Amino acid sequence: MNIAFQGDKGAFSEIMAIKFFPDADYIACKTFKDVFENVKTGKAKYGVIPIENSQTGRIVETTELLVSSNLNICGEGMLNILHCLITNKNNNLKNISKIYAHPETLTQCRNFLSKLNCELVSWYDGAAAAKIVKNNEKLGLIASQRVAKLYDLKILKSGIQDSKENTTRFFIISKKKASSNGKDKTTLVFSTKHQPGSLYRALNNFNNENINLTRLESMPIKNKPWEYLFLIDLQGHIDDEKLKNALKQLKKNTTSIKILGSYPIGKCYD
């Protein structure tokens, strides 16, 4: 079974893939779009994508790809993120003049990095930068402990993220839908008319069915300035009768609805 993830070996997405699918083969993809394409074409049965971080919030690119695709969310998992400043074995902090990291990582480590007099390089994946850093004593990277082990590098400092409670939520995507296990969540997006009380009426349908919403965010609609989609997570499966009733009523108060997937409630991994 092939599992696609964005990044190189040692990336946090690969770590999540291994946690979720411990006996699989893993396909490293340069971009998130490549992950979706691998699943869409059947080269990978599942894809693992980060969707939000407890510190920096929604990951825009993966959310937009998910909303525009025909793939389904079929699982979720949370991963505690420990960022490390890594360099080659002969280096020290004073020698480093340039640090490579994924854009999200740079944001999550802003406080630590602001104290260094280093050039920060936004790279598509911190793990992929290991090959560049390995033989250059003026370079460093921010990545996982696994990267240091895989590429025989030195960890100068671990836990450099701004928040010690730094967790990333991942979605598992597939062409197939997940069946209910009795402890499920559903993610969907919808839009409403520009009328007073339209969002209230839409959300009240879930209240009427005693359905708990666990996330609500607005997303700008591309090519439609100042118009928004509303992204929600709620407890329950699309096949649950009360959720079916709520969605039936929701259609009366919205201009569009798209179910992104129903999936078992995930757990957090270290």
Which pLDDT does position 135 carry in this prediction?
Answer: 83
Q: Please pick, among 62, 63, 168, 187, the residue that the annotation labels catalytic.
A: 168
Which pLDDT does position 144 carry in this prediction?
Answer: 93
Q: How far apart are alpha carbons 221 and 224 in whole angstroms?
A: 5
Phi, psi of 61 (to 5 degrees): -60, -50
Which pLDDT does position 126 carry in this prediction?
Answer: 72
Q: Please pick, among 20, 32, 170, 190, the residue that the annotation labels catalytic.
A: 170
Which pLDDT does position 85 carry in this prediction?
Answer: 95
CB atoms within 10 A of CB 177: 15
Picking from 165, 148, 160, 56, the residue whose alpha carbon sits closest to that of residue 116 is 160
- 214 as an active site residue: the answer is no
Which pLDDT does position 123 carry in this prediction?
Answer: 85
DSSP 8-state assignment for residue 195: S
What are the average pLDDT values for consecutive 10-residue runs of the chain, which has 270 residues? 93 95 95 97 98 93 96 97 92 89 92 93 82 87 93 94 94 96 96 89 94 95 88 96 94 94 96
Picking from 149, 133, 125, the residue whose alpha carbon sits closest to that of residue 88 is 133
The structural domains of the chain, ordered by start, are 2-80+166-174 (3.40.190.10), 84-158 (3.40.190.10), 185-269 (3.30.70.260)
153 and 134 Cβ atoms separated by less than 8 Å = yes
Q: How far apart are alpha carbons 12 and 126 in whole angstroms?
A: 9
Taking the model in full, what pTM does it have? 0.91
Q: How far apart are alpha carbons 99 and 120 in whole angstroms?
A: 5
Which pLDDT does position 74 carry in this prediction?
Answer: 97
Which pLDDT does position 91 carry in this prediction?
Answer: 84
186 and 236 Cβ atoms separated by less than 8 Å = yes
Which pLDDT does position 194 carry in this prediction?
Answer: 83
- 168 as an active site residue: the answer is yes
